[in-house]
Amino acid sequence: MSDVEKNSYISFLSEIKSKVYQAQYEAMKQVNTKLVTLYWEIGKNIIEKQQQYGWGKSVVEQLAQDLQKEFAGMEGLSSRNIWRMRMFYSTYEKLPPMVAEIGWSHNILIIEKCKDELERQFYIGMTQKYGWTKNVLVHHIEGKSYERFLLGQTNFEKTLEKKHQQQAKLSVRDEYNFEFLELKDQHEERELETAIIKNMRSFLMEMGGDFTFVSNQYRLEVGDENYYIDILLYHRRLKSLVAIELKTGKFKPEYAGKMSFYLSVLNDKMRLEDENPSIGIIVCKEKNRTTVEYALNELNQPIGVASYRVTPTLPKDYKNLLPSPEIIIESISGMIGDL
H helices present in 104-144, as ranges: 104-113, 117-130, 134-142
- The total of other beta-carbon atoms located within 10 Å of residue 202's CB is 14
DSSP 176: E
pTM for the structure as a whole:
0.64
- The pLDDT tens digits of the residues spanning 136-178 come to 889 888 877 888 777 888 999 899 988 888 788 878 888 888 8
- The pLDDT tens digits of the residues spanning 236-293 come to 888 999 999 999 999 999 999 999 999 999 999 999 989 999 999 999 999 999 999 9
How many Å is the Cα radius of gyration of the chain?
24
- State the Cα–Cα distance between residues 119 and 111, nearest whole angstrom: 10
Among 159-168, 185-194, 309-318, the range scoring the smallest mean pLDDT is 309-318
Domains of the chain, residue spans: 3-144, 147-315+327-338
* Top-level class of domain 147-315+327-338: alpha beta
| Strand 175-177 to 153-154 pairing | unpaired
Looking at this protein, which amino acid is placed at residue 96?
A: P
- The total of other beta-carbon atoms located within 10 Å of residue 157's CB is 12
Decide if 139 contacts 205 (C-beta within 8 A). yes
Confidence of residue 311 (pLDDT cuts 50, 70, 90): low
- The total of other beta-carbon atoms located within 10 Å of residue 229's CB is 24
pLDDT value, residue 337: 57
Q: Where are the beta strands (DSSP E) in the chain?
A: 153-154, 175-177, 211-222, 225-235, 240-250, 279-286, 303-309
Residue 267, helix vs strand vs coil: helix
- State the Cα–Cα distance between residues 117 and 94, nearest whole angstrom: 13
- State the Cα–Cα distance between residues 212 and 147, nearest whole angstrom: 24
